[in-house]
Amino acid sequence: MQLHTVKGYIQSIYIAEYAQGVMLLDGCCRADVGTVLRFVRDELKRPVTDLRLVMVTHMHPDHAGGAHRLRQLTGCVVATGYTERSWYQGVDGWLMHLSDIFLGLWMANRMGRPLKNIWYERTLRPDLVVADGDNLPQFPEWSVVATPGHTNGDISLWHQPSHRIYVADLIIKVRDDYRTPWPIFYPNRYRDSVAKVEQMQPAAVLLAHGGEIATEPHHRCFAVETPKVPKTHWRAIKLKFQNSLSRSEHAEHK
């Protein structure tokens, strides 16, 4: 197995190459579809139909945005973890989907990327739903590790032979600092997920934002400080409103 890292629109793209086919460890952005196909065709010198499996670790734009289009163009299987409800379900979900797309574009701007279309459907239509401990079809060296907390259905991907694990957004690296992702809807689940990965004692952790990190027991990336309450879109808006109201009241009493 050769594991390739490709620079995506706002995240790292990981591509596992085998003789029997190619697997994309996450569904990337809609803007990354061409990048992935060109890499398979021009760098790996393989037909794009050799892309056999696209995993979706969770529903954010840089992890699910390219999945449907890649399936349409290559015939690949799209797989994701089990969740009790669609992440962007309902009116709140619709608003959150829009917010996450704008957040992705804001991040791209901060990174100096040109403005690109990252719109995608808010409901994933997977060919396969996987659960904790399942081996991946066609790529049995890889297995699913349920790591919820960032959202309701996050999964990580464990490569048993090399003891490496792709954790998507579980941990974020900013320069030399390790941070929790935003949002965190389920702090207790998130804390348990980080502990679960640490207990697996991986040789390396693959981050969607921060690249591959060689790890050892008690590596500082596992010491990220988990919030005691959820960090969500609505709480952020509420806090901003309360702060604005407080400043206004303070100004009136001067």
Residue predicted with more confidence, 213 or 216: 213
* Residue 93 resides in a domain: yes
Please indicate, yes or no, if residue 253 is contained in any of the structural domains.
Answer: no
pLDDT in tens, 128-145: 999 999 999 999 999 999
pLDDT tens by residue, 143-158: 999 999 999 999 999 9
Q: Is residue 234 part of a domain?
A: no
Residue 233: per-residue pLDDT: 72
The domain in which residue 70 lies consists of: 2-223
Let me know if residue 54 belongs to a domain: yes
Residue 44 in domain: yes
Listed in sequence order, the residues at least 6 apart from 181 whose beta carbon sits closer than 8 Å to its beta carbon are 150, 169, 170, 171, 172
SS3 category, 28: coil
CATH number, domain at 74?
3.60.15.10
Is residue 252 domain-resident? no
pLDDT tens-place string over residues 37-91: 999 999 999 999 999 999 999 999 999 999 999 999 999 999 999 999 999 999 9
Specify the number of domains making up the chain: 1
**Residue 251, pLDDT above cutoff 80:** no
| Structural domain contains residue 90 | yes
| CA neighbor of 148 nearest in space, from 188, 93, 100, 208 | 188
Residue whose entry in the numeric block shows the structure tokens 């990190």: 213
The reply to whether 244 falls in a domain is no
pLDDT at 242 over 50: no
